Amino acid sequence: MADRQRAVTGAVIELDDLTKHYPGSQLPAVDGVNMEIAAGETVILVGPSGCGKSTTLRMINRLIEPSSGRIRIDGEDVTDIDPVRLRRRIGYAIQSSGLFPHMTVAENIAQVPRMVGWSKARIRDRVEEMLDLVGLDPREFHSRYPRQLSGGQQQRVGVARALAADPPVLLMDEPFGAVDPITRDHLQDELIRLQHELHKTIVFVTHDFDEAIKLGDRIAVLREQSHIAQFDTPEAILTNPSDDFVSGFVGAGAALKRLNLTRVRDVTIEDVPTVTMDDPLQEIFDKLRERGGNELLLLDRRRRPYKWLRRGDLMRAKGSLARAGTLVSHHVTRDATLRDALEAVLTDSAGRVPVTGRRGEYVGVVDMETLLNSVHELLEADRMAALEHRHDLEEARAHQTQERLETGFAGGERP
């Protein structure tokens, strides 16, 4: 959180009772959405098809004009300003990229900077920078046409075009919906990396809840007419879905999905006795005996986990360190998700995995027991937080109802 505040370039978005009513239909397509999105936050709108999530998104840059309600960006009411100028301040990326097929990659990216009147030299530099940013070699891709790119590459260019004029807000309408699962996974990772650098305010529409968990700081689960069923962090939604609709949408395996959200650095890491290759054999024997435990972790000269040593190993190897013990087959970094750690622990024959630091050096060990305890603690904490949150909400709601009742009575006395 602290480093997030360092370089936020995003803007606050406030949706105030935003409604879209199409003429000729009885119910509004979007019914009174209230939402406040913090600067630099990634908010995912997720819900079944036809729930109005896209309509809600498209009202933010007024591709669809709201029937009523207000939109504020960074405090400025943009509901009535010139929509063309508004859209130049908001990045827009859509499914199947929407690249103009008759323009080269560079021309596509240059569109918005050109419209807002950047100089040619500045645009040229910016195009290169953007291609670099989305991981495409400028020399190779600069003058290609969209049809000469793969689906994933097109999508990257689409994101580069959306970000070219450095807008504070980025709207993404199922941008990864049309690519294969592996490419989608890559693109999601890229987006996380990008957002880590850029800190834009991103509003992202998807119907894929796993995508929402992966990308969102907060997720708004929408039901029909864009009614917000729950608007909360992925953790809270997973552990404490507000109702059956949300839990149905979360789907099975919520606890497993929760593991994706926590990193190894956030859980208790155990310490095991370690020795290094340079320690004298006698010391190693002593350590094994005095700890009473039956295992030592042997580190190499750069303090990286090398071998597991058991009591019998040294005897059998006749005192030679080179032949003794079992090589460390798995290790996880502190940035790995708990899911990765669980995977490693399950595959390890003795059910424990060394945790390593940035340069591969030994930090500690996680095993089944610590993982289990950590997950229980996490889930419990999530539950408490969600309960507290719900309590606050109920209190606020009760307060509102009270107010409404009072004003209602005041109105009733008039005749």
Which of the ranges 73-81, 90-98, 278-286, 393-401 carries the binding residues for other proteins, by CB under 8 A? 90-98
* Cβ distance to other proteins smaller for residue 88 or 310: 88
Binding mask 165-204 for other proteins (x = CB under 8 A): ------x---------------------------------
- For residues 61 and 256, the answer to whether their CB atoms sit within 8 Å is no
Which of the ranges 91-99, 183-191, 226-234, 314-322 carries the binding residues for other proteins, by CB under 8 A? 91-99
β-strands 68-73, 42-46 pairing = unpaired
Nearest in space to 298 (alpha carbons), one of 371, 281, 344: 281
Other beta carbons within 10 Å of 114: 14
Binding mask 96-135 for other proteins (x = CB under 8 A): x-xxxxxxx------xx--x--------------------
What is the smallest separation between the CB atom of 299 and other proteins, expressed in angstroms? 54
What is the smallest separation between the CB atom of 49 and other proteins, expressed in angstroms? 17
Sheet holding 332-333, edge to edge: 332-333, 352-356, 362-367
Q: At what angle do helices 151-163 and 105-115 cross, to 10 degrees?
A: 20
How far apart are alpha carbons 99 and 59 in whole angstroms? Answer: 21
β-strands 68-73, 76-77 pairing = antiparallel
Residue selected from 77, 85, 255, 397 as contacting other proteins according to rule CB under 8 A: 85
* Cβ distance to other proteins smaller for residue 108 or 370: 108
β-strands 218-223, 42-46 pairing = parallel
Nearest in space to 377 (alpha carbons), one of 271, 272, 268, 260: 268
In this structure, which amino acid lies at residue 346?
L
Which of the ranges 144-152, 307-315, 356-364, 393-401 carries the binding residues for other proteins, by CB under 8 A? 144-152
What is the smallest separation between the CB atom of 56 and other proteins, expressed in angstroms? 15
Ranges within 10-69 binding other proteins (CB under 8 A): 61, 63
Collapsing DSSP to helix, strand or coil, 99 comes out as coil
Which of the ranges 93-101, 204-212, 258-266, 279-287 carries the binding residues for other proteins, by CB under 8 A? 93-101
* Cβ distance to other proteins smaller for residue 58 or 307: 58
How far apart are alpha carbons 255 and 257 in whole angstroms? Answer: 5
Report the interface residues with other proteins, using CB under 8 A.
61, 63, 84-88, 90-92, 94-96, 98-104, 111-112, 115, 145-147, 161-162, 171
